[in-house]
Amino acid sequence: MKEFKNKVAVITGAASGIGLGIARRAAKEGMKVVLADIEKDALIQAEEEFKASGTEVISVLTDVSKAEAIENLAQKTIDAFGEVHLLCNNAGVAAPGPIWECTLKDWNWVMGVNLWGVIHGIRTFIPIMLQQDNDCHIVNTASSAGLVSGDPGNGIYSITKHGVVALSENLRASFGGMGSKISVSVLCPGFVNTNIINSERNRPAEFCGPDYEPCLERMIKKYPETEQFIKAFITSLEQGTSPDQAGDVVFEAMKNDIFYILTEIGLIWKRFIKARFDGIMEAFNQNRPILKSL
């Protein structure tokens, strides 16, 4: 997809962070923009920003973990603009901590937003796009954490992002086999200056419970030695790519038909990714004598 003017973009998690950066670039490209987010006040503020700039925009309060909420988002998009050409399944949250200590509510919340949010998005919007039979693009937001070996301090997040990468790879292969006009990319940001570390500000009550304690506080209380690592991580985020720059990267990647979209090319991520896949390839050599002996 190379032409964006007068096309329609739907972006989840659009009230802040990367989603807002993508939405701003979409507006600059002359697109009509649908902002979806669960954070009401930030969503209203974002909508006002776009209206002030002359962008055709609507906002829809949306909990992406709910299939019916995504169906409502699609209906409001079609009611307002008639079509949809760009879908950015971008909403994401994190619940840090060792995976065996995370509660079921932690798991259900993060899986619901990060993975099921993408699943609901593609199940709802792809049939619409196929019926339109015109050039469309889907960008699923994963993470560099979805390309490297597991993050011991943020396990659920890492697991969901690996799932989004695999889902996107399957989607691209499926469309390639059917000659579809829908193209796909998976966004794997590294350090971007977002508020992901404070995503529990938007955690619904149903995922809290009477004994709820924010995951970050819970982890630091039990493992005080992690506090310095968390502070260093926050600093890396603050010094990272800006959300607007990330939005620019996404659009330039779409124009060049790039599947794996990276927001930075620092050696640290390249080294981590290489280490993971080198380990997989080495497993062939390690297993060869065992398999030959059977």
SS3 content of the chain, % helix, strand, coil (to 5): 55, 15, 30
Residue for token digits 């896949």? 277
Q: Which of 157, 212, 223, 260 is catalytic?
A: 157
SS3 state at 9? strand
- Contact of 141 with 189, CB cutoff 8 Å: yes
157 is catalytic: yes
Pairwise CA distance, residues 116 & 172, whole Å: 18
Closest C-alpha to 247, from 44, 51, 27? 27
| Alpha carbons within 13 A on the beta-carbon side of 279 | 8
- Tokens in use for 245? 């720059």
CA-wise closest residue to 114 among 202, 20, 235: 202
Q: Are 64 and 72 in contact (CB under 8 A)?
A: no
Q: How far apart are CA 232 and CA 56, in angstroms?
A: 40
Residue 44 has a CB neighbour count (10 Å cut-off) of 15
- Cβ neighbours, 10 Å, residue 264: 17
Catalytic residues: 157
